[in-house]
Structures are given as structure tokens and as C-alpha cells.
Chain A
């Protein structure tokens, strides 16, 4: 027996492709999977939300509460009165409670639990009742279009998916990615809410005058970036769209604006 010395053949036991390409292949596979998952979940949640009966919708909106610090808010009869007036036009299957929030940012929110939050910052900014009614109408639009329910439904499914995967390393990555995409209303949703707001303003006040006033004011003051951060992107486009809509619907734009009274103490 003769021993022949031999160096290891690296073609046999080492991987045949570059690790980087190998990783790229897997990552793109994961990406395709996540995108498909996201699209399917979004589509099915939207279908379910659209077909929800008013009773179920009201139940969900009343019983699912969002974690808000209610100590930072106060009730306001004047604001509630305005919301009620607009809600008659919106024909929601539940009652919306309005609150003034101690916050200097210009913002308003429609949150689960059928709560409408308006910041003091916003109330300082608006000068007429019509302007404020437009914002409230916009938020009612989010309620009307079931945007809360849709994002809750998506959030729930993504949270479960994240939990199922989180025993693995990429689980947290997966859920973070989905969180990021989930917490925002889409631009289409914002625009749809805008147009709904215009409808509500016209329905409750008989005029669409003042509908774009707040946006224009903020554009002029260069606070666009702030509003941008508050998830309301591209509002120059939104002003245009609203104006076109008002023209198309032939809403009145000449009636006198009603000055805003005192909303909170």
C-alpha cells in the first residue's frame, strides 16, 4: 500500500457561490414574501372592513380603546357641538366624542374608541369655524371610511405574524418593517378624507368656503415640513385636489365665514 499525499480540493467542500450573492438571493426571496403577504393582508382586511355591518362597526369602535393619556385632554361643549353637527351629515353608526388635547403641535386625530382629539396648537391656528369644521370633517372621513378599523385589522395580523416569527432572529426585523408601513394612513386615505371633509363642511354650513384655508395658511408659514412629519404629505397637491372637487361639485364658496368662538377655557 502506498500513501499519496494530497491537498484538500476546495471545489468539493466549499460553497460554490459568493456568500454575498447567496445572501442577496435569500433577502430578495424574503422581500417578495413580505410584499406579497402585505398586499394580501391589506386587500383582505379592506374587503372585510368595507363589508362590515354598521352594528359590528359601532361595536368595534366603542370597545377597542386606544391608549391615550386622558389627563392631557378636556371635554369641550363647543367642540362637541360642532362635531355632532357634522356627524349628522356623516351618518356614522356611532357617536363620536370630541376632546381638546394639551399639545402645541397642529394636529387632529380620529382614534379607535370613537374619539376625536384636537390639539390646542390647531385651535390657535384656525380663525374661523369653517376652517375647524373642515379639519373635523376630515377626521370624520377617517371614521366614515373605516380607516381605523382597517389599520387595526392589519396591525393585528402583522403583530401575530411578528410573534410567530419572533422566535427566530429575523422576527423582530419583520415586525419592525411592518410596523413602519402600518402606522400611517396612505396618501389616498388622506385625500379621500379631505374630500369627505369638504362634503361635511358644505353639508353643515351650506358653503365650502374656508375648506383649504388652514392648508394654505400653513403652506405660507412654511410649516409644511411639520405637517409632513405629522403624516399629511404633499398638501399642495391636496389643496389642488380639494379645489377641483369643490368646482366639480359646484359648492358655494362665497358665503361669509363664521369667526371661531372660544372652544376651551
Chain B
């Protein structure tokens, strides 16, 4: 019985705090994306045009976002039945966009960022299974003209 109560409390806390944090994070991501949408970010190896380049630099942004208890339990349930894991999808989406934003912030006043790579790793792998977090690293070459 105690286990069930503890479980219910953890689920509720996880759901409420997770939802609030996610909402705040998404709002902040949307605002910053609007602000920085004018900076071209491309995966091409070469800049769009090669004239007048003053400086080139490696820029990067990385973020680690933890999963809440609710999302983790729901994910493990999805593991039982199969199908896409919606609770992870929101998490990874936020992490990816946040990493790109941080990379853009690292490249202040650049004309463009080229050759962008995005990598993810799961922190929880091989670690204590109570830690669930995703790391997303975005890096690229910033070009100043």
C-alpha cells in the first residue's frame, strides 16, 4: 500500500512539475527562436558565398535535460506495448531546439553558421537507472563577414 501511495505521489509531482517546466521552457524557446531566426544556420560544408569572410570559428551549444518520474514511467509502459514514446518526443524536441539556440547565442553577430552537426547521448546509459537525462550537442562553424 505504501508503495502505491509513494508511486501516486511521485507520478503527480512528476506530472505537475514536468508540465510547468516544459511549458516555461517551450515559451522561452519560441521567443528566442523568433529573435534569432534571421541568423542563417545551414548544414552545407561551404558558406553560401565565399567573398569577404573575416573570421571563422567553431561554435557550439549543449544542453542536458532530465526526465521527470511521470514521463519515465509512461515511457516504460510504452515499452511494454510498443509504439512511439510521446513523453520522450517532447523532451528530445526541446533539447534539440535548445542546443541549436545556445549554439546561435555562442555565435553572436555572425553572418551565418555552416556545417552544423547535432549529436545526442543519453546520460542514463550504464548509469544508475534512476537517472534519466538526454544530452544534445549542436556545433558548427560560425562565419563573420
Residues of A within 8 A of B (CB): 1, 3, 5-8, 13-15, 17, 19-20, 22-23, 26-27, 29-30, 168-170, 172-173, 176-177, 180
A19 to B74, CA, bound (A): 9
Q: Which residues of B contact A176 (CB under 8 A)?
A: 1, 3-4
A256 to B79, CA, bound (A): 67
- Which among B74, B87, B97 has the highest number of chain A CB atoms within 10 Å? B74
CB distance from B40 to the nearest CB of A (A): 5
Binding-face segment, B54-62, B65-73, B116-124, B137-145: B65-73
Are A1 and B48 interface neighbours, CB within 8 A? yes
Are B74 and A23 interface neighbours, CB within 8 A? yes
Are B90 and A3 interface neighbours, CB within 8 A? no
Number of interface residues of B (CB under 8 A): 34
A100 to B75, CA, bound (A): 51
A5 to B34, CA, bound (A): 10
Are A22 and B97 interface neighbours, CB within 8 A? no
Q: Which residues of A contact B76 (CB under 8 A)?
A: 168-170
Are B74 and A26 interface neighbours, CB within 8 A? yes
- With A3-B40, A19-B71, A23-B70 as contacts: A173 and B4 at CB distance below 8 Å: yes
| CB-nearest residue of chain B to A8 | B97
CB distance from B37 to the nearest CB of A (A): 5
| CB-nearest residue of chain B to A171 | B76
Q: Which residues of A contact B96 (CB under 8 A)?
A: 13
Tell whether B38 is near chain A: CB-to-CB under 8 Å: yes
Q: Which of B40, B87, B93 contacts A23 (CB 8 A)?
A: B87
A170 to B112, CA, bound (A): 48
Q: Which of B42, B74, B112 contacts A22 (CB 8 A)?
A: B74
Given contacts A6-B37, A19-B86, 14 further A-B contacts (CB under 8 A): A3-B40, A3-B42, A3-B48, A5-B37, A7-B34, A7-B37, A14-B89, A15-B89, A19-B71, A19-B74, A23-B70, A30-B80, A170-B73, A173-B3
CB distance from B41 to the nearest CB of A (A): 9
Q: Which residues of B contact A23 (CB under 8 A)?
A: 70, 74, 77, 87
| CB-nearest residue of chain B to A30 | B77
Are B73 and A17 interface neighbours, CB within 8 A? no
- Which among A8, A23, A29, A172 has the highest number of chain B CB atoms within 10 Å? A23
Tell whether B78 is near chain A: CB-to-CB under 8 Å: yes
| CB-nearest residue of chain B to A29 | B81
Shortest beta-carbon contacts, A-B, top 5: A15-B86, A26-B77, A23-B74, A176-B3, A22-B86
CB distance from B35 to the nearest CB of A (A): 11
Q: Which residues of A contact B7 (CB under 8 A)?
A: 173
A26 to B72, CA, bound (A): 13
18 pairs, CB–CB < 8 Å, chain A vs chain B:
A5-B37, A5-B40, A6-B37, A7-B33, A13-B96, A14-B89, A15-B84, A15-B87, A19-B87, A22-B74, A27-B77, A29-B77, A30-B80, A169-B76, A173-B3, A176-B1, A176-B3, A180-B4
